[in-house]
Structure 1
């Protein structure tokens, strides 16, 4: 497989189809191509946690992070999501890109940990932030990811939850480090969004997001 540069990866991810009718209860905000590309490229180039590795993508949606991982040479990548409609788009995307090192599973991510403990080298995810009807679901996703991963978990979280996540990481005896702080340009996916996008200023900590790494060894 050709080695992709960052701009090439982002260009490919811009062609990934996303949610046609996002579901509010599932907090279906797609990971933007630029953010996905930067996140995955860092995981790949700085930490060598994608190429030839088994990768899980929890709450994969339409497959943005899974597809990017597959393009960067993952040994095999599996996306997990509860929504059949999202996985139908995911499947169409993988066919369009002719990817063979990728698969998807429809399931409740919150019930995965017992059956898939220590199954994947790396877990990546953009979990629900738990800001609407699912308070605390981000921590359930994180705990599940930590149980499934052998080496590391890479996850997007609200910067405002950093102290809480650090406390949980300490309780779970895993090392946490912040890799990047960024604006999450959420698309106007839902009817209650009056503007075209939610403009989040990077200097307002409570409304920024970050990529966190959780190391298991």
Structure 2
């Protein structure tokens, strides 16, 4: 496949990736919009974290970040998710896009082992947008990402926790270099939702492990 050279073209390609086929409230599944995914991947590419790198996406959902990185020249991109429905649609979509540098693993991240040679982690874990959500899941994903010893981690979090997160990253010897800010749309997909859509302020922290 011809390498993408414009962010708008990347966004258009990512629009073809289906959302979570059967969103599960217990997993706090919300699909990352293509405009947000393309912006973050483009920034990561510009910072040298995608092209010829081995990329890992923990909690990949239907695979938008893994496939986006593959489209932008990643050496390899691997998506991991506990949800069989999401992995199935990710595999199907990657085959339609004829991406031979991406693969997907059905697994709980706690059980994930023997993944080596990772350069970059890009992940959108459950970040606690629901009032009754299991808080701290995003930090669990950050801790797991660190176990694979990548050079850099990109991770989504609630913007309201930014001050705490900065301390947390610093305490775990992670050097924050960039903080990207997005209005993340949460559509009405669960029974308890009362609005058609609401925007949640989120941040994506870029942090270095090897510095």
Q: Is the 8 A contact 2:21 2:85 kept in 1?
A: no
* TM-score w.r.t. length of structure 1: 0.90
The CA distance in 2 between the partners of 1:211 and 1:133, in whole Å, is 19
Identify unmatched segments of 5+ residues in structure 1. 201-206
Deviates more, 1:31-40 or 1:125-134: 125-134
Which residue is equivalent to 2:180?
Answer: 180
The CA distance in 2 between the partners of 1:9 and 1:52, in whole Å, is 17
- Tell me, yes or no, if structure 1 residue 51 matches structure 2 residue 51: yes
Identify unmatched segments of 5+ residues in structure 2. none
Alignment of 1:107-146 (within 5 A): 107-112=107-112, 115-116=114-115, 119-130=117-128, 131=130, 132-146=132-146
The CA distance in 1 between the partners of 2:150 and 2:177, in whole Å, is 17
- Tell me, yes or no, if structure 1 residue 37 matches structure 2 residue 38: yes
Offset of 1:148 from its aligned partner?
A: 1.5
Q: Is the 8 A contact 2:62 2:89 kept in 1?
A: yes
Q: Is the 8 A contact 1:58 1:109 kept in 2?
A: yes
Alignment of 1:1-217 (within 5 A): 1-45=2-46, 47-112=47-112, 115-116=114-115, 119-130=117-128, 131=130, 132-198=132-198, 200=199, 207-217=200-210
The CA distance in 1 between the partners of 2:142 and 2:110, in whole Å, is 10
- How many pairs align? 207
Offset of 1:210 from its aligned partner?
A: 1.1
Offset of 1:110 from its aligned partner?
A: 2.9
Aligned CA-pair RMSD: 1.5
| Structure 1 segments of 4+ aligned residues over 3 angstroms from their partners | 130-133
- After superposition, what is the alpha-carbon deviation per residue over 1:149-175, rounded to whole angstroms, capped at 9, x for unaligned? 421001111111112211111111110
Q: Is the 8 A contact 1:175 1:215 kept in 2?
A: yes
Offset of 1:180 from its aligned partner?
A: 1.6
* TM-score w.r.t. length of structure 2: 0.93
Q: Is the 8 A contact 2:4 2:10 kept in 1?
A: no
The CA distance in 2 between the partners of 1:42 and 1:100, in whole Å, is 23
Offset of 1:178 from its aligned partner?
A: 3.7
